[in-house]
Chain A
Amino acid sequence: MHAKPRAMRDALLEQIHREMASDSSIFFVSADFGSPVLDRIRADHPTKFVNVGIAEQNLINVSAGLALEGYKVFAYAIAPFITMRCFEQIRVSLALLSEVRPMNVNLIGVGAGYSYVVSGPTHQCYEDITLMRALPNFQVMSPADHITAELLFGRCVGELGPKYLRLDAQVLPAIYTDAAPNIADGFHVHRQEGAICMIATGYMLHTAVTVAERLQANGVRIGLIDLFDLARFSTEKLREELSRYETVVSMEEGFAGRGGLDALLYNFISHNAIDVKLLNIGVEGSYRFELGTRAELHEQVGIGPEVVTRRILDLFKSSQGTFKTIKGDRS
């Protein structure tokens, strides 16, 4: 594993490229979207690659047809386009059809959240978690760094079923430099302390790490979980983990209160009768056209480290003295 900052897509594509040398059943379909690593796939495996052009509807249907012929298919495009331009193709030809005819199709969407910073709302993607989780037989995976993305390749190639990987478009620092996450659990506990716990997915894990450090500098200890599998995480283990806390803070680079990670946690907490409050951190308001860095845009819409630190500090102060001691301190 490379500990240096690296694009998730490069890590994943390299795994695909390597596996294609020995597994002739892998087929790569792109909607005119590339990367230097993809150039190697195109050059080395021309009969197992096709570019359908700027045509995401056909990307999905062709991928379904290839999968019905026995291929393990990776379909590759920009995140908002591969999820929203062709949502009905995804529903009919992948979600519905795979219930009757098992198939392995992996949608790789690059550009989760605000990662295409200056391209504006057409290329930014804040609805995909909501939409893809609405398909009950889809696996939805949202890694925070290239190490996790690389590890998720094994799930993609080895398991039948339709899957969606939402990848960041930017080169991000590696999070899992010391120990790899347990992919089977679907989440990883980074900090287990205090009475509040942040659960972040994708890029927001980086924000959450910063927030935790700032809070620590303010004398506030806080838990931190990376939920990288938004469909098939270990419910038993996550229930146990969340039960340690008074409040859980969901953190996603998607619209708040519109069926994303926050809804997932609302449902999970309610269904499992976990005695914990939930604070949602997500994109506030509607579509915006302001320009700026990703950090600036995040602060404007309520998901940057500054605003999140402030909100959690406020929560901490307003609740101070009323928090139970954490489970580890109970006797």
Chain B
Amino acid sequence: MISNSVNLKEKAHWVWRETLAVHRRAPETRIASSLSAIEIFVALYYGGVLNIDATDPRWDERDRCVISKGHGSICMYPILADLGFFPASELQRVCKAGGILGGIPDPIIPGYETINGSLGHGLGVASGMALGLKRNGKKQNVFVVSGDGELHEGANWEAIMFASQHKLDNLHLIVDNNSISMLGFTDDIVSHDGLVRRLEAFGWQCVEVDGHNVLKVQNQLLSLKAIADGRPKALVARTLKGRGVPGLENEALAHILMPKAELLDSLLEANDAR
């Protein structure tokens, strides 16, 4: 279990800066959707939510964390290196030959469970894991981090129906609800308005949280994890795409905008490790 004594706010800020640094070296990576999910991942990995062992990433007793929003999880690279899943030197060769950290993460990276990036697959695979754990009489939990845009994929809703039917209360869906997909705001494309109510109508227990308040995210995740009442659980985290980067934050086209190198340099300098 990761120590609960970490100052999560400071850690979130450090991850934000290191994620920018990765993107500065590897501009091919998707930065905006990686910045919206930082507090979610910090709460999961440093906040005592996930029971994991960096020295044994496939430890049988681990909680499974399926990162469905693959491209939008570049912030996981500094986190996993910091926790010791792989040497920090890997961060210097993101998207480079010989490295393991690509533009879209694959499970060749210690700490990643499944193939991600092609969107809408994580929740279904995680449902199979959750069912398998239950039928095996095992107590481990399964977490899925998904974007809101990828909820347009119908396969998610097949899994959402399946999970409540089979009372998968060991399954947790965290939606990084930054409200923007590639070409704009989801409200202007196919809206997820009332997502909490929608999930509740499908038989899930669902709560909403300010996704950039890392302590609240941590508290909600710990509370949800402690409940097992036969319902699968969802946390809808309101977030901002491209958070903290001028010109990127909450911009309709944030997914495909690339901050200039000078801007990244000035942000990195202003937020240098203290």
**Chain A residues packing against B (C-beta within 8 Å):** 27, 47-48, 50, 52-53, 55, 57-58, 60-71, 88-89, 92-93, 96-97, 100-101
Contact = CB atoms under 8 A, between A and B. Distances in A.
B127 A62 contact: yes
A100 B115 CA distance: 9
15 contacts: A48-B135, A55-B162, A58-B158, A61-B127, A61-B128, A62-B124, A62-B127, A63-B128, A64-B128, A68-B125, A68-B128, A69-B133, A93-B124, A97-B115, A100-B115
B87 interface: no
B103 to A, nearest CB: 16
B44 interface: no
Contacts of A60: 124
B34 interface: no
B136 A69 contact: yes
Q: What DSSP secondary structure best describes chain A's contact surface?
A: helix
B175 interface: no
Contacts of B118: 88, 92
A105 to B, nearest CB: 10
A100 B154 contact: no
Contacts of B121: 61, 89, 92-93
A15 B240 CA distance: 54
A173 B125 CA distance: 39
A52 B166 CA distance: 10
B132 to A, nearest CB: 3
A88 B125 CA distance: 13
A18 to B, nearest CB: 20
Given A58-B155, A93-B121, A65 B132 contact: yes
A65 B115 contact: no
Contact of A27 (B108, B125, B127, B132): B132
A103 to B, nearest CB: 11
B113 interface: yes
A148 to B, nearest CB: 30
B114 A93 contact: yes
Contact of A50 (B123, B126, B155, B166): B166
Pairs A-B, 3 closest by C-beta atoms? A65-B128, A61-B124, A69-B132
B107 interface: yes
Contact of A101 (B107, B123, B127, B131): B107
Contact of B162 (A48, A52, A66, A97): A52
Contacts of B114: 64, 68, 93, 97
Contacts of B155: 57-58, 61, 89
**Size class of the contact patch on chain B:** 20 to 34
Contact of B158 (A57, A67, A96): A57
B159 interface: yes
A92 to B, nearest CB: 5
A58 B124 contact: yes
Given A62-B128, A93-B114, 12 more contacts: A52-B158, A57-B155, A57-B158, A62-B159, A64-B114, A65-B128, A65-B129, A65-B132, A70-B136, A88-B118, A100-B106, A100-B115
A97 B106 CA distance: 9
A92 B123 CA distance: 13
Interface string B88-124: 0000000000000000001110000111001001011
B113 A68 contact: yes
Contacts of B158: 52-53, 55, 57-58
A21 B158 CA distance: 30
B130 interface: yes
A135 B159 CA distance: 25
B126 A65 contact: yes
A168 B158 CA distance: 28
B132 A100 contact: no
A327 B182 CA distance: 63
Contacts of A92: 115, 118, 121
Contacts of A65: 124-132
Given A61-B155, A65-B126, A88-B118, A70 B132 contact: yes
Contacts of B136: 69-70
A57 B157 CA distance: 10
A69 B106 contact: no
A50 B158 CA distance: 14
A93 B68 CA distance: 12
Contacts of B154: 57
A64 B118 CA distance: 15
B86 to A, nearest CB: 15
A89 to B, nearest CB: 7
Interface string B143-172: 000000000001100110110001000000
Contacts of B108: 100
A66 B106 CA distance: 19
Report which residue of B125, B136, B159, B161 has the largest number of chain A beta carbons within 10 angstroms of its beta carbon. Answer: B125
